[in-house]
Each structure stands twice: as structure tokens, then as C-alpha cells.
Amino acid sequence: MASKVRVNQDLQRERDRANFNLEQLTYIFDGSREYTQKRRYLEKRIAEDPELKGGPNYYFLSNSEKYANGVRKATLLAKKLKEYKLGDFTDAFLLRSIIFPNEASPMSLQIDMFIPGIMGLGTEEQQRRWGEKAMAYEIIGTYAQTELGHGTHLRGLETTATYDPTTHEFVLHSPTLTSIKWWPGGLGKTTNHAIVMAMLYTRGKCHGLHAFMVQTRDLETHEPLPGVEVGDIGPKMGYHTVDNGYLRLDHLHIPRMNMLMKNSQVLEDGTYVRKKSDKLSYGTMLFVRSTIVKGVATNALAQAATIAVRYSAVRRQSELKPGGVEPQVLDYVTQQYKLFPVISQAYAFSAVGLHLRNLYLRLNYDIQQGNVELLAEIHSLTCGLKAFSTDQMMWSVEICRLSCGGHGFSQASGLPKIYDVHVPACTYEGENTVLYLQCGRSLVKALLQAQKGVTLSGSMAYLSQVCDDKCSVTSQVTVDALLKSYEWRARRAVHKAARMYKGRLQAGEADYNAWNQTGVHLVLAAKAHCHKYVLKTFAESIQQAEAGADVVRVLQQLCLLYATHGVTTNSGQFLECGFMDTRQLELVNDHMLRLLTDIRPNAVALVDAFDFTDDKLCSVLGRYDGQVYENLYKWARQSSRNETQVRIFTTVTPQ
């Protein structure tokens, strides 16, 4: 990682004072030493690959040029996967993240949802028919679920697939304006196939949402097929490399076997046969949500923290001591208070993301064995954690941008790009408030079961356990003591939501309205539950870490900072009903401020351990060598507006 070029003296001094094994911490953040080694190997190959190194500067391209460059790199990604002999999804995700630094590939959904959809929803024959072609990039696909009028509410989707037993075909149709498929990545211009989610009708009866393989474009000419209207939805806040599209189907006929039939099927005569639980169709969605915590939220937090902390070590501003040397901005406690919690969030969500990956793999194995016992809990958990992690990421990336002052507003900082490409995760794969509501409802239902004598297990077990009446925090502020406080807060929030829900029912309100009126408390309960789960998982991961005492020590400091910062920023909930008193809250707050001092010597090393290359960060402010000012000047001179000193403007005539 170390650069041969001149390193800023302040930044080098920060690195020299670090007192832990940085390499071991990188392995923990990545999940394993083997993963780190493979990542570095691929980063080196891509950096040296003549087809990929160099290239146009993303920041100075138009939106159309960004898309064209994205298609170029996406085709090279497919080529390099074969050339480097990389076969599994982990390798594909990794290589894509290197080739597309803080950018979305126009073919992202090929890996994210199209192939997983085929493998998860298709029969073995269908997996051979389409899966092998998709993995070889002989067909390019997307996943078309969201519509113009409905997104997260799956039962509200309107696209229909009506079976015609006389032709043995399904007729796919967009019956209304609001039924047009809207937003799928790559749908506008790039892909030629789509897994289309539509309401299945046979013999006049609706059987709910099912998946259908639809070819949208001719494989030779790339022209849309008859019955298919497809296009780009237009400029967006970010994601300029992706042609998010729309799809309108006009009585499109597809063969019966184009319905993905792993879990259910339609026979030639129109008989509908359900093989397995309809909940199994959630598999692709669960897979994506389980990857968002690590692949999106953690990644954005870690990169934003790296940029802001390095720049704060290089930047000197104002005076602490009158007439003295300008201090590093990182020496201001207010700057530490902004940035160090973001570092702790990145390590916390990394631990949770790795944990979720293992949970999903276990669930997937269980499903193959016919066991769906974990499905409901993991669905609830991934709903909540997807929302909680991306919410935290959204605010924290903005905090990092603001902490860089005026230069943070420049695209040169890399922070606007991080925000633009990661913040859409707050609404794709489920709008966050809706996901919180789903998680909150499952918590209330679990509590009501516990009150009937059912023993809860897994992430909800604490809801049926007896808790202390008072917080145990004294002069010693520990993660264990605070974790009990987090459990109390979550338990109380769920109980409060349950009481409100039951009270509404007892008052004679309809069930649907009782849930709606309880909505705010359901969201608060879900957030408290997820906050507790993240802290617990982070603490347990440290106990299991294969690392030296020095690495464990800094991780424990970060974990305690995560815990204390969470208490101080949600103090009202912890003080409510007297579980924690104001004296204890003051102790927690004082301890948090001491932790800022403890973490300060290792701040730069902690973000260096994320191990991002300069190519990955795409940031002048976050450069590894810290040579910020000369490179800001070089960057500005690249602007096309500087090609001439006098610019002639033409008048644009309104159309």
C-alpha cells in the first residue's frame, strides 16, 4: 500500500505513531486474510491491465459519456472474469468493485439479481438454459419488479401474466399507466432479457406474484421486440453510469416454460401447482438485502471516513493557542466527535455484514433441505438492518463531507460521488420506512407470542427475558453494561408499540388501522432493535477475532465508542422511565469524550486499515500521500472551461 512518492509530513507522522498491527485489522475488516490477499492481487492486475488503466476522468464526463464509459467497462468486466478464471459470485462482486470505483455498472443487476433469480427461482433445466448463458454473458439481464405506481408493496403490482391453455403461452401485459416497470438498472438500453415479476392468472384466478423470463430485445440487432416498449427514464440525482429504464408490455406472448418454476408451476391445461412455500420467492431479495450492509453501507462509511480523516490530518486551520502554529483540524475535539463515530460505524457494520452473509448461507442451505424455520426471522432482520445501516450511512457520509469544509463540496473530494452512488440504497430494495415497519410488526407479533408462553429464540430471544429495572453503569462504563441498556431500550420500545397496537384493537379499531396508528412506534422499535443487534454482533465479533492484544484493544475502543455515542445521541429513550438516570448519562458522555482522546493517535491508521487504493477512493482530499493542494490545482486545470479564456455562448431557443 505504501507509496514511493513524497508523503505529507503530517500524514506520515500520524502513521508512525500508530500502536497496533494494521495488517491484522485489515484482515478482520475484510473477513479473512485470504480475501485481502485476493483483493490486492486483483487490484494490482487491474491497475496494470492496459485495457483498464488510465481511461477518462469520470468527474469531467457528461452523463451520456459516463454511461458509455460504463458500458465499456462492463464489457471488460465480463471479459476479465473469464480471462482471470473467476467463477463465483464473491469474485464477480470483488472485481466489479475494483473496475467500478464508487460507480454502478450498467450490468450490475446481471450479477446482483438476474443470475441469482434464475438460480433461486428456476428449475434445474431452466438454470441450464438461461443460467449458463447469463454467467457467460451471452445474454444480459435485469430484474423488473418495481412499477411506476408501486414498489415495496408487492401485492400492489399490476403487471399481469395470463395463461392461455390453447397456445400454451403466457400473455404478459401492462394494463395501466402505473403498471409500467420503472427503475430497473440496465433496462433502458443495455440488457436484452429481464426477469419480470407479474401477477399470475390461470383459469380466471389470480395466484399472486411470480417470475417470468422475458426477452426484451433482439439478440442480433438489439432492437426491442414486438410488444415491448423499453427506454431510459431520464437524468437522476446519481447513478449516471446506469440506464435505469421503463418497460411497457403490450400482450406479449411467451412460452409456458418461461415461467420460473422451481417453487410453483402451471401445467399445460392451466392447472396451478404450488411445490413449496410462496415465501421462498423472497430468496433473491433477501440475498440482495444481506449484501447491502457490507457491500454498500460499510463500504461508503469506510471510504468517507478515510477521506475526511486523512484530509483532517493534512489540513491545518486557525489557532488553538494564540500566536501558535496552526493545528491539524483533526486535533479539534469537535472534528473528532464528527469523524471517530463514523469509523466505529464502519467497523461495526462490517462485522454485521459478514455475520449476515453467514446467516444467509445457512438459510440457503436449510431451504435446500426443505427447512424454512429461519426464513421469517432473517427476513425481518434483513429488512431492519438494510434500513438501519443505509440510514446511518446516509447521514454519516454527509457529516464527513461537511467536516471537509468548502473542499468537501467539490467533486474532487470524492464525497459527493460516494453519496450519489450509495444513498439510493435507502430506497431501492425496499424503502427504508416500509422496511422498518415490516421489522417492527414482526417484533410486536413475536412479543405477543411470547406473552402467550411461546419461547423466543435467535435475535428476538431477549423480548421474552426478564430484564433489570435499573442500568448497571457506575464509574466503569463497559460494553456489557451498555448492551443491557440497549436491550432494555429495544424491549421497552417493542412493548410500547405492542401496547398501543392492542389498545387500538380493544378500542374497536380495525386491525389495519391499529397497525397504521402504531406506525411511528413500530419504526422506533425496529431502530432500537437493530441498534442493539449491531452492538451485540460487533462485540461478539471482537471476542472471536483472531488477532493480537493490540488489535483487540483498538477494536474494543471503537466498540465502546459506538455504544456510548449511540446512548448520547438517543439519550431521551435511555432516560425514559428512569432506567438510566442523568448521572449515568453524564458518565457515559464523559467516557465517550475520553475515548476520542484514546483513539486520536490511531485515527489515520484506523482508516488506512480499510486499505482503499487511491483508484478506489477517487479523491484528491483522501490521497494516500496527502499531497492535497498541488493535486487540487492540477485537478482544476483539467476542467474543459479552462481550454479557452474567452467563451462564446450561444442562445438556446425554447422549444
Q: Is the dihedral of CA 629, 634, 640, 642 positive or negative?
A: positive
Sequence-separated (6 or more) residues with CB below 8 Å from residue 372: 277, 279, 280, 366
Asked whether residue 146 is marked as a ligand-binding residue, the answer is yes
Alpha-carbon distance 591 to 556, whole Å? Answer: 13
Query: For residues 635 and 620, is the Cβ–Cβ distance under 8 A?
Result: yes
Phi (first) and psi of residue 247, to 5 degrees: -140, 120
Cell (9 digits) for 230 = 423499453
Alpha-carbon distance 467 to 491, whole Å? Answer: 9
Alpha-carbon distance 153 to 433, whole Å? Answer: 12
Phi (first) and psi of residue 52, to 5 degrees: -120, -25
Alpha-carbon distance 642 to 630, whole Å? Answer: 17
Cell (9 digits) for 618 = 477517487
Query: For residues 380 and 586, is the Cβ–Cβ distance under 8 A?
Result: no
| 429 labelled catalytic | yes
Alpha-carbon distance 40 to 14, whole Å? Answer: 24
Coil, helix or strand at residue 62: coil
Asked whether residue 427 is marked as a ligand-binding residue, the answer is no
List 624's β-bridge partners, or say none. none
C-alpha distances in Å from residue 117, one per residue of 111, 134, 141, 264, 618: 10, 11, 10, 14, 32
Alpha-carbon distance 161 to 173, whole Å? Answer: 7
201: left (phi over 0), alpha (psi -120 to 50) or beta: beta
Query: For residues 529 and 447, is the Cβ–Cβ distance under 8 A?
Result: no
CA geometry: angle 438, 443, 449, nearest 5 deg: 125
For 595, the enclosing helix (H) or strand (E) is helix 582-599
Alpha-carbon distance 47 to 36, whole Å? Answer: 16
**Alpha-helix runs per DSSP H in 201-266:** none
E strands present in 203-286: 205-215, 228-232, 245-249, 252-255, 264-266, 272-274
Query: DSSP letters along 136-202, please?
Result: TTSS-EEEE--BSS-SS-GGG---EEEEETTTTEEEEE--SGGGSEE--TTTTTT-SEEEEEEEEEE
List 181's β-bridge partners, or say none. 147, 247
Phi (first) and psi of residue 209, to 5 degrees: -80, 130
Q: Catalytic: which of 429, 431, 586, 643?
A: 429
Query: For residues 229 and 179, is the Cβ–Cβ distance under 8 A?
Result: no
Of 349, 623, 584, nearest to 484 (Cα)? 584
Cell (9 digits) for 136 = 457467460
Alpha-carbon distance 285 to 379, whole Å? Answer: 9
Q: Give first-to-last CA distance, the chain, whole Å.
A: 54
Of 248, 136, 262, nearest to 198 (Cα)? 248
SS (H, E, C) 604-639: HHHHHCCCCCHHHHCCCCCCCCCCHHHHHHHHHHCC
DSSP helix, strand, coil percent of the chain (3-state; round to 5): 60, 10, 30
Beta strands 181-182 and 245-249 are: antiparallel
Query: For residues 556 and 20, is the Cβ–Cβ distance under 8 A?
Result: no
Which residue ranges are tagged as binding site for FAD? 146, 185
Residues noted as catalytic: 429
